[in-house]
Amino acid sequence: MADANRKRWWLAAGVVMLALTGYFSARLLGDDRRLFLPNATSHGHYQIELACDACHTPFSGVKQEACNQCHGEELAAVNDTHPRKKFDDPRNADRLTVLDARYCVTCHVEHQPERTRAMGVTQPDDFCFHCHADVATERPSHRNLAFDSCASAGCHNFHDNTALYEDFLAKHLHEPKLLAKPRVATRDLRPWIKAVSTKAYSHALTRAEADAPAPVVAKHLEEWAGTAHARSGVNCRECHSPVQPNGMRASWQDKPGATVCASCHEREQQGFQSGRHGMRLAQKLSPMRPELARQPMKADAHGRELSCTSCHGAHAFNTHRAAVDACLECHDDTHSRAYLDSAHARLWRAEIEGHGAAGSGVSCATCHLPRETLRDGDLKGVRVQHNQNANLRPNEKMIRAVCMSCHGLGFSIDALADPSLIARNFSGTPARHIESLDLAAARLKLPRKPKP
């Protein structure tokens, strides 16, 4: 009797276990894995938090490789101040027991909202102390500075110090607020496109030469005829019926996908898929929509999906629209709302209305999708970085590549350290002064002009 009871009990337990296993497996393997999300993810990863395997491996945790895949290239590009290779010499073993700086996840632990600080760091803010406790011996000016202020006072970053190191500060000590010729570089895709397409730039096309099958939509034809595509010989079929790897043209597609854009604009697509606009696509998730954002977005933008054409449109590929109007169709935070009344916007309007010099206008894209001079073997040219988050946090990343095209270093550092000035989209003057230039000048015994 007792035996039979026990058997029945085991049977029931088995069935329950099986059912639970089945349920959890189905949830894990299915599309909706929210059940397994331990806690809110950081601002950097929330969009892809359900693509668990973007970071996690079965049974062996989060691999460093996962971090490198998305962030490795940018760290290398900014000459990361604390790369892994600085730490893996055995002479650093004692340091690593305190803070294992060889691994990203030592400082950037995910799913820990209550201890995630600025920049997604989950270490106490004074972590610099572990290795730089004796900083005041060489730099007495630092004696009374708190270790939780190294990275928060506008002076240093852990990774990107491209505009903050002493010799750079010294080189740019006496720059005015506004440089004599404030201009951004001119975009130049030509050398790159020529390298991937033998046909591009063969000759400028007219409306009569458009090779779309009838009936052609007049508006599309008109828009295309005004573009760089038409001017540089990119006809309708290059996108709507592109040549495939087998040499044959694909059948006509009314709405070609992003892969067609990427066949010439691969780097732009890579940038797009690295930032908040396109990172979901990189993980094979549905496209980003404004209502999924943590930033304030306009209600009437809800439901729109982000892709190349959401900002660039199709056919017209109007870069002016992509640089301001497209942003403001969705973004609704204080900084974005203040843009149109800013000095930057006045310069932008002047440039696109034809009375400002080329490169003198400052659009949203000027700062957030900056122009970069790139080198790739023999190729050299200026392209637009389409990862609009690459220079945002910490914002000192913007100084060198963006602000200093037009402003002096000292002014740039001060401006980016003033959150209310940023909220006003830089209408006004910085209310804060960061001492780094003064300290560098004093240490190197260089003259420091009195502040105007």
Task: Give helix then strand counts, H and E, for the chain.
Answer: 22, 4
Q: Taking the complex as a whole, how short is the minimal distance between the CB of residue 165 and other proteins, in angstroms?
A: 8
**How far apart are the C-alpha atoms of 161 and 196, rounded to whole Å?**
34
Nearer of residues 170 and 350 to other proteins, judged by Cβ: 170
**How far apart are the C-alpha atoms of 45 and 440, rounded to whole Å?**
37
**Tokens in use for 292?**
């999924």
Q: Which of 38, 58, 90, 450 binds other proteins (CB under 8 A)?
A: 90
209 part of the interface to other proteins, by CB under 8 A: no
Contact 379, 191 (CB under 8 A): yes
Nearer of residues 31 and 134 to other proteins, judged by Cβ: 134
244 part of the interface to other proteins, by CB under 8 A: no
Q: Which of 53, 65, 73, 88 binds other proteins (CB under 8 A)?
A: 88
Region of 89-97, 245-253, 304-312, 325-333 interacting with other proteins (CB under 8 A): 89-97
Q: Build a one-symbol-per-residue string for 158-197: x at contacts with other proteins by CB under 8 A, - elsewhere.
A: ---------xx-----------------------------
Region of 90-98, 253-261, 304-312, 325-333 interacting with other proteins (CB under 8 A): 90-98
- Cβ-based neighbour number of residue 397 at 10 Å: 21
Q: Which of 89, 114, 254, 378 binds other proteins (CB under 8 A)?
A: 89
β 61-62/371-376 pair status: unpaired
Q: Taking the complex as a whole, how short is the minimal distance between the CB of residue 74 and other proteins, in angstroms?
A: 16
Nearer of residues 19 and 93 to other proteins, judged by Cβ: 93
Region of 93-101, 215-223, 275-283, 349-357 interacting with other proteins (CB under 8 A): 93-101
Q: Taking the complex as a whole, how short is the minimal distance between the CB of residue 93 and other proteins, in angstroms?
A: 3
Report the site for other proteins in 94-113 (rule: CB under 8 A): 94, 96-97
Nearer of residues 97 and 244 to other proteins, judged by Cβ: 97
Q: Which of 32, 34, 91, 294 binds other proteins (CB under 8 A)?
A: 91
Query: Which residue shows structure tokens 């957030």?
Result: 368
* Number of residues forming the site for other proteins (CB under 8 A): 16
Q: CA-based diameter of the chain, in Å?
A: 98
Query: Which residue shows structure tokens 């790369």?
Result: 83
CA angle, residues 32, 113, 125, in degrees to nearest 5: 150
| Alpha helices (H) in 57-197, listed in sequence order | 64-77, 93-98, 129-132, 135-138, 166-171, 190-196
Report the site for other proteins in 20-39 (rule: CB under 8 A): none
**How far apart are the C-alpha atoms of 140 and 145, rounded to whole Å?**
10
Instruction: DSSP for 61-82, please give it.
Output: EE-HHHHHHHHHHHHHHTT-SS
Residue 61's DSSP bridge partners are 57
Q: Taking the complex as a whole, how short is the minimal distance between the CB of residue 138 and other proteins, in angstroms?
A: 6
Q: Build a one-symbol-per-residue string for 422-451: x at contacts with other proteins by CB under 8 A, - elsewhere.
A: ----------------------x-------
Q: Taking the complex as a whole, how short is the minimal distance between the CB of residue 90 and other proteins, in angstroms?
A: 5
Q: Taking the complex as a whole, how short is the minimal distance between the CB of residue 14 and other proteins, in angstroms?
A: 45
Nearer of residues 371 and 400 to other proteins, judged by Cβ: 400
CA angle, residues 197, 201, 205, in degrees to nearest 5: 120
**How far apart are the C-alpha atoms of 3 and 352, rounded to whole Å?**
88
Report the site for other proteins in 126-165 (rule: CB under 8 A): 134, 138
Nearer of residues 147 and 168 to other proteins, judged by Cβ: 168
Residue 243's DSSP bridge partners are 249
Report the site for other proteins in 47-86 (rule: CB under 8 A): 79, 85-86
* End-to-end CA, the chain: 97
Contact 224, 315 (CB under 8 A): yes
For CA atoms 222, 228, 233, 238, the dihedral sign is: negative
Q: Taking the complex as a whole, how short is the minimal distance between the CB of residue 94 and other proteins, in angstroms?
A: 7
Contact 82, 159 (CB under 8 A): yes
For 78, 142, 215, 234, the CA distances from 226, given in Å and listed in that order, are: 37, 58, 20, 12
93 part of the interface to other proteins, by CB under 8 A: yes
Nearer of residues 50 and 374 to other proteins, judged by Cβ: 374
Residues near other proteins, by CB under 8 A: 79, 85-86, 88-91, 93-94, 96-97, 134, 138, 167-168, 444
